Every structure is written in structure tokens, then in C-alpha cells.
Structure 1
Amino acid sequence: MTRTDAIARAQEYLHSGAFLRELDRRVAYPTESQNPERRDCLRGYLEQELQPAFAQLDFSTRLIESPSGKHPYLLAEYRENASAPTVLMYGHGDVVDGMVGEWRDNLDPWRTTTSGNRVYGRGTADNKGQHSINLSALRAVREARGGRIGFNAKFIVEMGEEIGSPDLRQVCESLREELKADLFLASDGPRLAADRPTIFLGCRGGVRIHLDVNLRDGSHHSGNWGGVLANPATILASAIATLVDGKGHLLLDELKPPRLSNQIRAVLADVKIEPTAGEPTLSENWGEEGFSAAERLYAWNTLEVLAMSSGNIEKPANAIPGRAQAVLQLRFVVGTRVDKAVDVIRARLDAGGFPMVEVRATQSFAASRTDFDSPWVNWTAQSIRQTTGKAPAVLPNFGGSLPNDVFSDALGLPTIWVPHSYPGCSQHAPDEHILLGVTEEALGIMAGLFWDLGEMPRAL
């Protein structure tokens, strides 16, 4: 059989209903990693669902306990030829809260429901649908090649990605020899747009910055004390305005990334951010001046206010509050001195007359990306172009965050992400879904990539 046969076979899984039946079975596991009552479901998904699926592909598998003992991992391996390329793949089987009762038409998040071009269900886009696509494509290539895939493959599945992958780096470093590979290839996050295949090479990092103003216990009557008591909410709003202005401009040069290279600008030149129906319209005159929307989103840093609190907004009293709090988030790309973020912010607030604002950082995750010069980038783009007839968007990094640094930095692998979702998929919200059209194309893309890997006599 040929490459074309393998692609057709992968897409036939969708047309026949087999892929959706398999996905429905996987969505039925309520694998909410933040819910301690779901611990058995996390293990069950690996033992009862994925281990048999890998066994059908002749992978050997074993469960690996996490250092915390809460979120197990599955390691699967297939060896065919010592001289052939070895690819390491990744997926996560955990999901966020199901949000039962909040879905349209009271849909059950733990079952798939097809409506038009959409397939609803928790995990369909993040990440059960995406790693199911990749496994189906592997199966199609294996069948087309008469029981072999043509390369060596390893797969690690975690069950704690939605709580920040707390043990992933430690686990992968302990398995360094077992996870050796020539390429890391995985699928998570959204494409640039539903109709444009996408490659991204890493992810932006993030760090939460907590700002607290604690002036006194309790609130005091605004008529009796207004004008003589400092207002923590006013102080906090003014302090934030020294960090980011009213048009979203980051005001601290020390928290900006290095100058955009000509290479990144060239790669992003044809990347257009065009929201589709149901997605928010881009704000005019917002963000760093002189940049395109793609450059702001994929190649620059932003400081966003995630939440603010002072007094009781539901029942405001005629009183000056004693405290105010805000949570900000710095999203940053490779090259940012994020280790200095708290010190830089502290210095700016002190200089602005706000020494009473307390600053601390939490929930930090790293930025990482593969170099554009890696031969795997062009190879992946050419394979996708051959399969779809479309030039894929090549992004330096995903706008959000994934544990890419574990694979790019800790394991030293070139990392290529080929996402199968789209920006309007409602991941982490009610009505999460995948699109049938994107799923069909994705099955073909991955079958083409896996077929092409098997044609390589040795790794790039």
C-alpha cells in the first residue's frame, strides 16, 4: 500500500464511526485531575483504555507512579529498527472540571454528542481527541504497511497536565535513557484557525504576580473618614497603572523580551489572527505599538490583570475598604528575564510611591521553543503541505502554555506540535468540542507524517 492508502484508511475511521465510538468511550472517563475523588478514574483511563489500545499496536507499556503518588503516567514503546528514526510523543488524559449542568441543551460532558460539524464532550479538544487522532493515524499506517510502522515510537501520557504537570519534569528526567529520541512530536492546543494546519515549536511561559494592599482591619464609613483614610483600592489601581497602561502597553522594559528578530517577523508575516463566529473581535489600538496581532500574540510579552477585589462588589457599603488585592499574569517568550520579575516590579512600585503594595509570584511555568533552523521544522511543513495542499502556519510558540520545556530543555529534543483543535473549541469551558472537518484533515496529516517518518532510512 501507499501513503495515499494510509491517509485514506485513517480518515475512514472517522467516516465509519469507529473513531467517534472510541472517543466517546474515552470521554466517558471523568478524569478531572483537580478533583481528588477522581483518582481511580485517572488510573482507570490508562489501565483500561490506553494500555489495550497500545497493545493492539504492539507497544509494550507500563505504568509509572508519580512522586506525589496522585497522578500516574503511562509509558509505551515500540521498537522496530535500531537505525530508523525514533519519535517521542505525548498526550494527557486528564481534563478540567466537567461543569455539569452548564452545557448547552444540558448536554452530558461525559458523553460525546455530535451536532452538525461539532462533537461535544469534555476532553474532545483537550486532549483526548487529539491523542486519539494520533493513535488512529498510527494504526492506519501500521495496517497499510502490513503490521509495521517503519520507525521506532515512544509515547508518554500524563494525568496531571491540567494542574500544571507538577511531576512531569522529574519523571521524564528519571526516564532520560528510556525517552531518548530523535524528535518530539505531539498535539495539543488550537490551530491558528480551523481552516489552516499549524505547527508550533514551543510555548510562552507565564508567572502570576499577586499585589496586595493591607492597610487596616475592617472598613470605615466613607462620610466620616473619606479624605483622611488612604483607600487601598485607589492605591492598587494606581500601582497597576505604573506597570501596564490603559491600552495594554507593558511599561517595564526589564520585563520585555529581546528585540524581535527578522527571522521571527518573516515567519509571522503571513499569519493572520482572524476570529471566527463566536470568538471575540480583536480590540483596536491595544497592545504593543508597531506590532502585528500575530507578533503580539506569539512573539511578545503581555501583562494582564486576571482578577481584582476590594470591598463587596455585590453589596457595596458606604465604607472605605481596608484591603485590596489583584492577580496579574506575565505571559512571556524565550529570552525574558522572568526570574527578576518580582524584583523589577518591586523597584517600580517603590519608585512610584507605592511601598505599601506587597508583591509575590506564584504558578510559574517556563517559555521554550525549538530553533527555526531545525531540519524537522521544514520536514514537517513539507509533509503537511503534501497531504493537504495547504502551507501550514509555522508559529515560534503557542500563545498559551504547555510543558514543552520538559522535552526541549530537560530532554534536549527538537519539539514539533501539530494541533488538531481550533481557537473557538471552548476548551476549559462548557460546550468543549472538536470539528469533524478538522478531525478528518488531522487524521490525514498525522498519517502522512507517520508514513513519511517510516520512509526515512535514518533521522534528520
Structure 2
Amino acid sequence: MTREKAVASAQAYFDSGAFREDLARRVRMPTESQNPDRAPVLVDYIETEIKPALVAIGFTCRTLFERDWPFLFAERIEDPKQTTVLGYGHGDVIRGLDDGWEEGLSPWQLIERHGLPIAFRRRGDVADVLPALRRHLDRNGFQGVQIAQAGDEVFYATRLDPEHPWVRWAVDSISRTTGKKPAILPNLGGSLPNDVFSDILQLPTIWVPHSYPGCSQHAPNEHLPLSIAREGLELMAGLYWDLGEPGVPASQSAGKERLSVD
């Protein structure tokens, strides 16, 4: 097996229709993790879909439970001296919202069709949201309106230096696979709890999105263009291959530096 063959295998998986078949079968399973009634479906999803797929490529698997909720732990050790790769996956993070989908569409059916929040730039923006709103209300005569932060559920924006070794490594890998230079966005807005990794665990983080801005992710009518799905399989096959090759950046802290962008 070579890198080229690994990427070609990912392409063939898509082109043969096997990817669509697997995806359609899994989409039909309503794995709503917010719905207590779906716990048995999540167990079935793990036991009949995910676990067999992992066992087939050499993983040892066991299912853990927190009350009725399943958690699949899978492990494969090729060489203890090699780089550790930790991956995770999940069922649907929201309910299906069936009533919000367009006529003829369903969150539990893969249909192929042909056709053409507040984002923070840096942590300082978060701190000034309530004061700025207070000033706006006061200027417009709404001094009697009270506002308060609901809790500590803020996902802080994070930033990794575009010249960080892991960024350069990922760019080189993706460019090699696709023949295209990827766009680099150094800031990740507060749409994900990325600060858990970058600030608390002090890990450099890189997100490789396999979608586009109009995909309606986590909402009714969520969809994915075929070309992006195929390319995502290709570039991830290349990334995983390169993680096992010499030249992987040494482990290091992302640091706590934050750059202000005006």
C-alpha cells in the first residue's frame, strides 16, 4: 500500500456508490442524542454500524454505558512508538426537526438532488457584548430594560499562528492530495468549544471542514455537495497516511498568545 493507493481507494469508495449506500443506511437511523427515547437507536447504531466497521480494520472495541447512553471505545495499536491519533464521532447532536424540512425532504432519508449567530474575532469581543448592548439600550431610552449573561456557556474564539508547524504540515498534506492550495483561516469563531483544546489542554488545533457556508449544518435541509464529500474522503485519507510518516511535527504547546485583528 502507498499513499497514492490509499487516496485512490477513498476515491473508489465514493465513485463505486459504496459511500452513498453506507451513508444512506446510517442516515435512516434517527440517532438523536438529545432525545431520551432514542437511546436504543444509538446502541443499535454503534453495534450494527460503527463497531463492525472498526473491527474490520483491526480495532478492538467495547461499549461503555452511562445509564442507558452508549459510548464506544475503540483502540488499534500498530506501534507504541508511533504518533497517537485520537478520533471521535457522535450521533446527531440535535433532534431531527422533521417539521422544518422542505416538502419531500426528511432528516432520515438521503435524497440526491441536482442543481446549482454572532461570530467573535477575539476574546475581547465577548467581554464587550453586554456593555455594548447596555450602551445601545441606554442611548435609545430603554434604561429600564435589564440584561444579564445567561451563564458561562461562551465558546471563546481561538487562534493558531498560520506559520505553526502543524499548520504547515496540514497545508502540505492537503495540497499534495488535492493539487490545490487550501484557504487558511487563523481564527476560529466561538461556534465550537475549541478553547477546551487550545487553552485548557494547550494543544494546537486545526479544523478541516468538509462542507460550505450554505450547508444548513445542524438545521433543517442540511445537505452536502457530492464534490465536497468526495474531496473530503481524499484529503482525510492523505492526512491519516501522512500522520504515520516521518516528519510529523513534534508535540508542543499552542501557547496562550492571542492576536487582535481590527
Bin the TM-score by the shorter chain: 0.7 to 0.9
- Greater Rg, structure 1 or structure 2? 1
The residue type paired with residue 389 of structure 1 is: G
- In the alignment, which residue of structure 1 is the partner of 2:60? 60
The reply on whether 1:116 has 2:124 as its aligned counterpart is no
Whether the 8 Å CA contact 1:84–1:459 is kept in 2: the answer is no
2:206 partner letter: I
Select which of 350, 357, 361 maps to 2:145: 357
Which residue of 428, 438, 447 corresponds with 2:228?
A: 438
2:69 is the counterpart of 1:80: no
Structure 1 residues 436 and 364, CA gap change in structure 2 (3 angstroms): same
Identity value in percent: 49
Structure 1 residues 458 and 106: CA distance shift in structure 2, 3 A: closer
Report the equivalent of 1:305: none
1:422 paired with 2:178, answer: no
Separation in structure 1 between the aligned mates of residue 55 and residue 159 of structure 2, nearest angstrom: 32
Deviations 1:438-460 (A, max 9, x none): 11111111111112122226643
Cα–Cα, structure 1 residues 42 and 375, in superposed 2: closer, same or farther, change >3 Å? same
Q: 1:352 to 1:115 in 2, by over 3 A?
A: closer
Q: Give the 5 Å matches for 1:111-150.
A: 111-116=109-114
Give the superposition deviation at 1:398: 4.1
In the alignment, the residues of structure 2 paired with residue 333 and residue 63 of structure 1 have an alpha-carbon distance, to the nearest angstrom, of 39
**CA separation of 1:440/1:407 partners in 2, compared to 1, >3 Å: closer, same or farther?**
same
Q: Which has the higher strand share?
A: 1
Matching of residue 332 in structure 1 with residue 116 in structure 2: no
SS of residue in 2 equivalent to 1:74: strand
Shifted more, 365-374 versus 445-454: the winner is 365-374
Please list, as runs of the form range in 1=range in 2, the aligned pairs for 1:88-237 lying within 5 A after superposition. Answer: 88-100=86-98, 102-116=100-114
CA distance in 2, matches of 1:390, 1:62: 40
Q: Give the aligned residue type for 2:242.
A: D
Per-residue CA deviation, residues 92-114 of structure 1 (Å, 9 max, x unaligned), is 32243323355445233212122
| Matched position secondary structure for 2:180 | coil
**Aligned to 2:149, what secondary structure does the other structure show?**
strand
Measure how far apart 1:375 and its partner are: 0.4
Contact 2:157 2:188 in 1 (8 A): no
1:365 is displaced (CA, Å) by 2.3
Work out the CA distance in 2 between the residues paired with 1:386 and 1:24. Answer: 30
| CA deviation after TM superposition for structure 1 residue 337, in Å | 6.3
In structure 2, distance between residues paired with 1:97 and 1:346:
34
Q: For residues 101 and 129 of structure 2, what CA distance do their matches in structure 1 show?
A: 39
Q: Tell me how far apart the structure 1 counterparts of residues 217 and 247 of structure 2 sit (CA, whole Å).
A: 39
Query: Which runs of 5 or more residues in structure 1 are unaligned?
Result: 118-276, 278-328
Q: Distance in 1 between matches of 2:64 and 2:156?
A: 24
Q: Contact 2:155/2:190 (CA < 8 Å) preserved in 1?
A: no
1:389-416 C-alpha deviation (Å, 9 max, x unpaired): 1100011234561232222233322211
Matched, 1:18 2:13: no
In the alignment, the residues of structure 2 paired with residue 84 and residue 423 of structure 1 have an alpha-carbon distance, to the nearest angstrom, of 36
Q: CA deviation at 1:57?
A: 2.1
Aligned length: 248
Match of 1:407 among 166, 191, 197: 197
Report SS of the residue matched to 2:89: strand
User: Distance between the aligned counterparts of 2:165 and 2:73, measured in 1?
Assistant: 27
| Residue of structure 2 in register with 1:447 after alignment | 237
Q: Which residue of 1 aligns with 2:49?
A: 49
2:253 aligns with none
Give the conservation status (yes or no) of the 8 Å contact 1:84–1:458.
Answer: no
Q: Distance in 2 between matches of 1:403 and 1:441?
A: 26
The CA RMSD measured in Å over matched residues stands at 2.9
Q: Secondary structure at the match of 2:238?
A: helix
Does the CA contact (< 8 Å) of 2:169 and 2:248 recur in 1?
A: no
TM-score (norm 1): 0.48
Aligned equivalents of 1:65 and 1:410: distance in 2?
Answer: 26
Residues 408 and 393 from structure 1, CA distance in 2 versus in 1: closer, same or farther, beyond 3 angstroms? Answer: same
The TM-score normalised by the length of structure 2 is: 0.80
Letter in 2 for 1:447: A
1:409-442 CA-to-partner distances (Å, cap 9, x unmatched) read: 3332221111111222232333322111111111
CA distance, structure 2, for counterparts of residue 99 and residue 353 of structure 1? 39
Contact 1:83–1:458 under 8 Å retained in 2: no
SS at match of 1:37: helix
Structure-2 change in CA distance of 1:351 and 1:25 (3 Å): same
Residue 38 (structure 1) aligns with: 38
1:5 to 1:376, Cα distance in 2 relative to 1, 3 A: same
Shift of the 393–4 alpha-carbon distance from structure 1 to 2, 3 Å rule, reads same
For 2:123, give the aligned amino acid: G
**2:179 aligned to which of 364, 389, 392:** 389
5+ long unaligned stretches in structure 2: 251-262
What SS does the corresponding residue of 1:75 show, helix, strand or coil? strand
Q: How does 1:274-289 map to 2 (within 5 A)?
A: none
Deviation, 1:32, is 2.1
Cα offsets for 1:291-328 (capped at 9, x unmatched): xxxxxxxxxxxxxxxxxxxxxxxxxxxxxxxxxxxxxx
Residues in 2 aligned to 1:59 and 1:381: alpha-carbon distance in whole angstroms: 29
Q: How much does 1:382 deviate?
A: 0.9
Task: For residue 40 of structure 1, give the secondary structure of its aligned residue in structure 2.
Answer: helix
More helix by percentage: 2
